[in-house]
Amino acid sequence: MSDVPSRPKGACRTCGEVLPLTTEHFHRDANNASGLKKQCRACACDEAKARYEANSVAVLARFRERRAERTAYFEKINFYDAA
Ligand SMILES: [Zn+2]
């Protein structure tokens, strides 16, 4: 019983590393019983980055499409000539 940790520890869902359940190692998650995410900060960052990179191409394409539509619309109503 002497080696009972003073703080509860959590194993990261992704990398399996056991870390103290503090905001130093885990992001907050109000939906979780512990108040913290089940994934360590490092893994959460990796995942966010991977998701961003996977999405960025599609997001950019959509953005360009909308901008082209807007430009076409303004040209149609002679927005640029009016000034
Ligand atoms: Zn991790």
For β-strands 36-40 and 26-28, DSSP reports them as: antiparallel
Structure-model confidence comparison of residues 5 and 12, the more confident one: 12
Q: How far is the CA of 52 from the centre of ligand 1 (A)?
A: 18
What are the extents of the domains in the chain? 9-82
Q: What is the mean pLDDT of residues 44-63?
A: 90
On the question of pLDDT at 15 being above 70, the answer is yes
The confidence band for 33, taking pLDDT boundaries of 50, 70 and 90, is confident
Q: What is the mean pLDDT of residues 66-81?
A: 88
Element (H, E) at 48: helix 41-76
DSSP per position, 8-44:
-EEE-TTT--EEESSTTTEEE-TTSTTSEEEEEHHHH
On the question of pLDDT at 2 being above 60, the answer is no
**Phi and psi torsions of 12, nearest 5°:** -65, 135
Q: How far is the CA of 40 from the centre of ligand 1 (A)?
A: 4
The confidence band for 4, taking pLDDT boundaries of 50, 70 and 90, is low
Q: How far is the CA of 19 from the centre of ligand 1 (A)?
A: 9
Q: What is the mean pLDDT of residues 7-21?
A: 92
